[in-house]
Structures are given as structure tokens and as C-alpha cells.
Amino acid sequence: MRRRARVAVALPFLMLATTTLNAQKPPSAHSDPPAGGPVWLDVYRAPASRLIGEAVSGTFAWDRLATLTDTIGNRLSGTPALDRAIQWAVAEMTRDGLENVHTERVMVPKWVRGSESAEIVEPVRHQIVMLGLGDSVGTTGDGVQGEVLVVRSFEELDARASAARGRIVLFNVPFTSYGETVRFRSMGPSRAARHGAVAILVRAVGPSGLRTPHTGALSYTGDAPKIPAAAVSTEDADRLQRMTDRGGRVVVRLKMEAHFEPDAPSANVVGEIRGRERPEEIVVVSGHLDSWDVGAGATDDGGGCVVTWEAVRLMKKLNLRPRRTVRVVLWTNEENGGRGGLGYRDQHRAELARHVLMLESDGGVFRPQGFGFTGSDAARETVKAIATLLSGIAADQISPGGGGADIGPSMQEAHIPGMSLDVDGSKYFLIHHTPADTVDKIDPVEMAKCAAAVAVMAYVVADLPQRLGE
């Protein structure tokens, strides 16, 4: 009966929360908070409904992301734009009424793209749509020119090693999954340099787009010279493949001014809602504020910053103060160094053991599906029960494997349970690390639901009578 009463109180919020989402739910799911489940969960049904209702009652999260990406834009490590974004976030968190708002300084690498271009110069001239890979060295003077060798795998490269000398190697490997295909971007430069290649091109790591190149970091190894490397659009990769398949020389010229400058000061941004009973125990929610230097860094990862920050703002706004502290961290330098996550681990070593859970949202803020989770079986059971509070927004799935590039170092150091926001990923890699990563790709209602899901999960984990997993 008590549960019924709570449901009735929460109904206006629930109606708001469910009006726009039933179309996406399987027919067997229902919108009311599910009956059953452990008794301890009952006390959380009303706060969960309030958090969801507040999150989806407007477009606050999307508007904030639009402001960030329109007024500041992309935010590569070491740029004034990232500095402005950090100062903006501090001011906005303070305005939200968050507690203990501050920055935590770390030094970050400063890679500068400069101007860049690529063209086919033989047998006919064609401009190539390209983006230099992050952390690549540049070319000298007039650029590097060479006959193209197209390969479709590392095995083919090794089999044709003698043909790679003095050439520009193109890795033309169609996108399957990011994990499978990204290795040609990260490892391709040194693999080709070992065989004497003078530069590499890599087919953009993403599904075929509209002639969209995808940047992203490469990773040179110590056993080969550093050679310039660039991503080319799938259309340009396919053209180079067709031209070389016809036989005869295909020559490309690549010009890149890319270089490193000395490390620059940067910072993680931190804000909190302090716990009412055990403030020294901490739940971290997070996204990374830096981005690549193309597009607006909306999906990667301005959106993750805003929806995790929303969790804390919503609690504050609704006067829901959990037992433990919920801390939002906006990381610096995820994309090309990971110094923010490493810096946090080092600066917070003394309190890592009191971190109850760390969550990172870095897979986009499209339609939420639930969370990936890494932790003990007992913790997983608790998290699964909490996720049932999100069935009304169809974000109740708990899948194996939770974590993130920035929370990883701390998770490993202190065996902290880790979580990632899982969303419909079908659009993510179309725009990932491209000029098309802009806020218009993000739906305000889906984004609000992401914020709701993170808020409910973080609130309940932070408020549990017993620490997660105990």
C-alpha cells in the first residue's frame, strides 16, 4: 500500500517521463515502477521518479551542451578554448549551487595540427578529403610524395613488405567495430614505417559517411621512425583502391604542419553534492571536457560531461542529498594523453579506497539503454535492482564491462567498481572525431533521459544504507 501511495504521488512526473518514449520500448515492458524487487528499493521509487521527471521536464541538458559547443566550440588539450571551457564549467557549477567546486591542475601535451592537405598527383589530380591523425609528426617543406601501396590488413602489409619501402601506405580496411578497426589508425603508422614507408593514410575509422574523415590518436612504437599519418574519407580510400587496382602508378602528396609544443597547464573540473551521513565516501560521475580540434566535441564528449553533471545538479535542485558524496569530474586530455585520469588517481590516492563507484559517460548521449558494470557479483545484483527504477525510460539493462579511459587508472589502482552509460550506439561512430560532431545530432529528449538514468543510479548508489557490494 505504501508503495501505491508513492506511485500516485509520483504519477505526474512519470507521465512526463513516459510520454515520448513508449514507442521505443518492447511491448512487454510497462511504464510504472515495477512491482516486486527487493524491499530496500521501495524507498527509492519516489526520488527516482522525481529525478526522472525533473530531467525530462525540459531541455536544460541539451541547452547547456549547445551553449558550450556554440560559444566555445571544440576543445583540444593545450588550447585557449579548453581553458575557456574549464572556466565556464566552474562558473556554471557554482551557479548551479554545487559544493566544493574547483579545478585540479594537470599538465597536458599540446599537439598542434597546423594546415594540412593531401592530393593525388598522378595519374590525375584529385583533392583528398583528409584529417591528420592526432599526435602525428608533420611533413617537411613541400610535403612528402610517394607512390601509394594499398593494403587491406596487417598480414597483407607484411606479405608485401618489400613493396612498402619509400611508399605511402594506405590501410583500406572497412569499418566493422571500433575496437576491431581502430588498430589500423593507432598501430598502422609504426607497422608501415618498419617496412620503410614514408607516410601512411588510413581509411577513416567509421561507417561510410558523406566524405567525412575521422581523426583520432595514433600510437608510435619505439622501433620505427615516426612518419606522418592521416585519415582519409572512405570515398577517397575507395578511389585510391580502384585506381591502384587498375594498375600503374598512383602518386599522392601529403602536407602536414603537425607538431608538438611544450606541455601546457590544464585541469580537471570538480563539483559535488556532499553526503549527509558519510561525506568521505564518494561516487564519481564523469565525462571528458577536452575534444578533438574538429567539429564541436558535442557527442565526444561534451554530452557525457553535461549528463553526468546533470545528475548532481538535479539532486541539488530537488534537495535530494544522499548519504554519501556524489562528485562530478570533467576530465581533461582524454583524447591524446589521458593526463586528467592519471592526475586524479595520483592526487586522490589517499581517498581512492573510499570511492564506492566511478561512472564515465563517453559513448554518446543517444537513447540510453542502461549501464555497463564492472564489479563484484554482489554489487552487480544491487546495481541490477536499482536499474529497474529506470524501466520507465527503457534504460534498465546492466551489461558486463563498465569503465572508461579516465576512470580506468583509479579503478585499477584501488579496485573500484566501474560503470559506463550504455546508449544506442548506431549513430556514434558516424560522427566520432569528425567535423560533424555537432549538437544538432543529439536529441534533447534522449539526452534528458541519459541525465535521468545517471542521476537515479548515482543517487541510489550514494544513498544505500550499506556500501555498494557489502
User: Interface residues with Zn ion (CB under 5 A)?
Assistant: 300-301, 362
Q: How far is the CB of 219 from Zn ion (least distance, A)?
A: 16
Q: Which is nearer to Zn ion, 213 or 404 (CB)?
A: 404
With H, G, I as helix, E, B as strand and everything else as coil, classify residue 413: helix
- Cβ–Cβ < 8 Å for 462, 324: yes
Q: How far is the CB of 301 from Zn ion (least distance, A)?
A: 4
Helices (H) and strands (E) in the chain, counts: 15, 16
Q: How far is the CB of 404 from Zn ion (least distance, A)?
A: 8
Distance CA 447, CA 55 (A): 9
Q: How far is the CB of 362 from Zn ion (least distance, A)?
A: 4
Looking from the CA of 408 toward its CB, the CA atoms found within 13 Å total 9
- How many angstroms separate the Cα of 226 from the Cα of each of 15, 137, 191, 259? 58, 7, 10, 12
Q: How far is the CB of 228 from Zn ion (least distance, A)?
A: 24
Q: Which is nearer to Zn ion, 51 or 329 (CB)?
A: 329
- How many angstroms separate the Cα of 254 from the Cα of each of 18, 168, 226, 362, 370? 52, 9, 15, 32, 44
Looking from the CA of 92 toward its CB, the CA atoms found within 13 Å total 22
Distance CA 149, CA 438 (A): 34
Q: Which is nearer to Zn ion, 144 or 298 (CB)?
A: 298
Q: How far is the CB of 361 from Zn ion (least distance, A)?
A: 9
Give the number of residues written for the chain. 470
Q: How far is the CB of 327 from Zn ion (least distance, A)?
A: 20
E-strand ranges in 362-427 read: 368-374, 397-400, 418-423
Q: What element of type H or E holds 96?
A: helix 80-96
- Cβ–Cβ < 8 Å for 392, 31: yes
- How many angstroms separate the Cα of 386 from the Cα of each of 94, 135, 221, 463? 29, 41, 44, 11
Residue 449, C-beta contacts closer than 8 angstroms, at least 6 positions apart: 21, 55, 56, 367, 368, 393, 395
Q: Which is nearer to Zn ion, 362 or 396 (CB)?
A: 362
With H, G, I as helix, E, B as strand and everything else as coil, classify residue 16: helix
Q: Which is nearer to Zn ion, 54 or 301 (CB)?
A: 301
Q: How far is the CB of 284 from Zn ion (least distance, A)?
A: 17
Annotation says 54 is catalytic: no
Catalytic residue among 54, 92, 272, 334: 334
Q: Which is nearer to Zn ion, 52 or 68 (CB)?
A: 68
Q: What element of type H or E holds 193?
A: helix 188-193
Q: Which is nearer to Zn ion, 44 or 175 (CB)?
A: 175
| Order of strands across the sheet that contains 251-256 | 126-128, 116-122, 251-256, 144-151, 168-171, 199-203, 229-232, 130-132
Q: What angle do CA 433, 367, 452 make, to 5 degrees?
A: 110
The torsion angles phi and psi of 363, rounded to 5 degrees, stand at: -125, 20
Q: Which is nearer to Zn ion, 300 or 463 (CB)?
A: 300
| Order of strands across the sheet that contains 355-360 | 99-112, 259-273, 324-331, 278-288, 355-360, 418-423, 368-374, 397-400
- Active-site annotation, residues: 334
